[in-house]
Amino acid sequence: MPWPVDSAAALCYSHRAIAVPVDPDAKNLLQKASSYSYLGIFMGVAVLIGFLGGRWLDTRFHTQPFLMLGGLACGIGAGFRELYRLARRGMRDEQRGDKQP
């Protein structure tokens, strides 16, 4: 025998999506934030890869700590290069937004 289902329970388990109105400014802000959110992870990973790669080369060529420091500098440079690229893209997007009515 099937279980009795009331209308509230049927609404909760419906397979239809419910459209929720979203403020366009809030949506735009979330899209911008999501495009910048990877930067912290990118910088950390770039520095880590540079450091570990330099350390591995140091053990291979017996040049402690010079290649490790060089790899670390390359990782830091890669992180700041990405920060610069992202800042330029953001400024370009802002200028495009100002020109459009």
What count of other Cβ atoms lies within 10 Å of the Cβ of residue 10? 9
Q: What is the pLDDT along the chain (101 residues), one digit of tens a residue?
A: 455 555 555 555 555 666 677 788 888 888 888 888 899 999 999 999 999 999 999 999 999 999 999 999 999 999 999 999 999 998 998 888 766 55
| This prediction's pTM | 0.69
Q: Is residue 53 a contact partner of residue 59, using CB atoms and an 8 Å limit?
A: no
User: Is 33 part of a structural domain of the chain?
Assistant: yes
User: Is 10 part of a structural domain of the chain?
Assistant: no
User: Is 76 part of a structural domain of the chain?
Assistant: yes
Domain hosting residue 60, numbered range? 23-99
Q: Is residue 67 a contact partner of residue 58, using CB atoms and an 8 Å limit?
A: yes
User: Is 27 part of a structural domain of the chain?
Assistant: yes
**Please, which residues have CB within 8 angstroms of residue 66's CB and are 6 or more apart in sequence?**
58
Q: What total of structural domains would you count in the chain?
A: 1
